[in-house]
Chain A
Amino acid sequence: MEVFGLWLAAFFTLGIISFLYKDNPWYKFSEAVFIGISAGYWFVVSFWDNLYAKFYLGVTANDDYMLFVGAVLGAMMILRLAPNIGWISRWPLAFVVGAISGFYLMNYFSSNVMKQVQNSVIPLFSADYGQSMFTESFGTIAGKIVIAAGTFTGLIYFFFSKEHKGAFGGAAKVGIWVIMITFGASFGYTVMSRMSLLIGRMDFLFGQWLGMIK
């Protein structure tokens, strides 16, 4: 069964890769199987890990009857499929949006604003407050200047309520340069990531399936 499964995995892998030549029935079949299997996978996992493990066991084993409220809200969500009473799904949606809004408001403000600003306002020419200047390497000092100036000018670039003219425009220009270098770095890493995934699949085809590599 495992050998059959290995060949099946190779069949589907090559089917998806065949798209590089052109759209074809082999690819379309593999894609359709992927869509069906993915939907089914999440359908089953969400049932056993959530509805059974959290709700059913929570009620029967831990007597947590408040979980019924969650179950009712979940059932309301599924009623979205019915055209006449689909509006009832707004209640669980409102709950989800409220929960995420409240949670993210505090977490993002604390971690992504306060802590980041705090780390940008640091001594540039010394290791810390109260220490001598120019004890660190040139690269580190230059880097800290880049962090402070780059963060500040990058934020100025995103301020579109004021026209980017004069000194403000100049700062915005420096900001866009920093952001372009950031995007270039992200692009480089994205290429790295995608290539890694392809390497993994080729390792499966030539290693696990055909046994041509160790």
Chain B
Amino acid sequence: MRREIPLIITAFVGIVFIIQYFIPHYPFNRLNGWFSDWFSIIGACAIWLGALNLMKISADRVYRKKRDWFYSVVIIVSFLMITIIGFAGGPDFRDYGTGFDWLYRLVYTPLSATMFALLAFFVASASYRAFRARNLEATLLLVAAFIIMIGRVPVGDAIGKVLHLPESIMPSQIAGWIMGYVNAAGQRAIMIGIALGIVSTSLRVILGIERAHLGGD
């Protein structure tokens, strides 16, 4: 029954969501509402699971004095600090001026934004070291990237003016045409392919043919 009950749950919930698309009325709209709320609550508990697991792993590293265990202490202290402040703040925990808001604006935001910003350096460095026009396909990719990068910033048209290009073949016009037509065509092909894959996988999951989400026994 360890596998049968989850399969029945998957099938039932999946079928309700399909039917409510065609019959958005009672009882399917009521079921849809309940399922949506339960989905959110389970999602919150999944986040708690991840956070508690992180604390478990960090505590283990500290206990066993593994390499760089000091940083696990930092992780635990940071987690506890924001958690205690956040819980103590009550439902208005994120209002401007609260401790949680201060940590969010002046610690969390700079850290997460800078982590993403680092990618700018690595994308440039990786392009310099690995982006090679080895064959026709790679050359097409490279040339398209150049046209888009130059055409989507004002310096592209500035270069076009220096070269006395007609308005219709200015870099911005070419970049716009590539984005609006060629890129749209390629993205559409990928989109349709992925969507068909999602449809077939969803059907397999709902019908119980696909069971990977249940894991091994």
Contact = CB atoms under 8 A, between A and B. Distances in A.
Interface string A158-190: 100000000000000001111111111111111
Interface in A1-41: 1, 5-6, 8-10, 12-13, 16-17, 19-20, 28-41
Given A90-B2, A105-B202, A185-B148, A179 B190 contact: yes
Q: Is the interface of B mostly helix, strand, loop or mixed?
A: helix
A94 B75 contact: no
B86 interface: yes
A197 to B, nearest CB: 4
Contact of B188 (A64, A74, A109, A154): A154
B86 A44 contact: yes
A31 to B, nearest CB: 8
B79 A43 contact: yes
B114 A116 contact: no
A96 B121 CA distance: 38
A103 B153 CA distance: 39
A53 interface: yes
A66 interface: yes
B114 A16 contact: yes
B215 A90 contact: yes
A14 to B, nearest CB: 9
Interface in B73-131: 74-83, 86-87, 91, 93-94, 100, 102-121, 123-124, 127
Nearest to B13: A98
A94 B144 contact: no
Nearest to B179: A185
Contact of A105 (B10, B46, B115, B199): B199
B193 interface: yes
A41 to B, nearest CB: 6
Contacts of A58: 37
B68 A41 contact: no
A78 interface: yes
A117 to B, nearest CB: 7
A5 B105 contact: yes
A155 interface: yes
Contact count band on B: 35 or more
Contact count band on A: 35 or more
Contacts of A100: 202
B185 interface: yes
A61 interface: no
A41 B55 CA distance: 14
21 contacts: A5-B105, A29-B74, A32-B78, A34-B115, A40-B86, A43-B47, A46-B43, A47-B48, A48-B93, A70-B34, A93-B214, A97-B10, A105-B14, A146-B185, A150-B189, A154-B188, A180-B144, A181-B178, A187-B145, A192-B149, A197-B120
Interface of A: 1, 5-6, 8-10, 12-13, 16-17, 19-20, 28-55, 58, 64, 66-67, 69-71, 73-75, 77-78, 80-81, 87, 90-106, 108-109, 111-113, 116-117, 120, 139, 142-144, 146-151, 153-155, 157-158, 175-192, 194-195, 197-198, 200-201, 204
Interface of B: 2-3, 5-7, 9-18, 21, 34-35, 37-56, 68, 71-72, 74-83, 86-87, 91, 93-94, 100, 102-121, 123-124, 127, 136-138, 140-149, 152-153, 168, 177-196, 198-199, 201-203, 205-206, 213-215
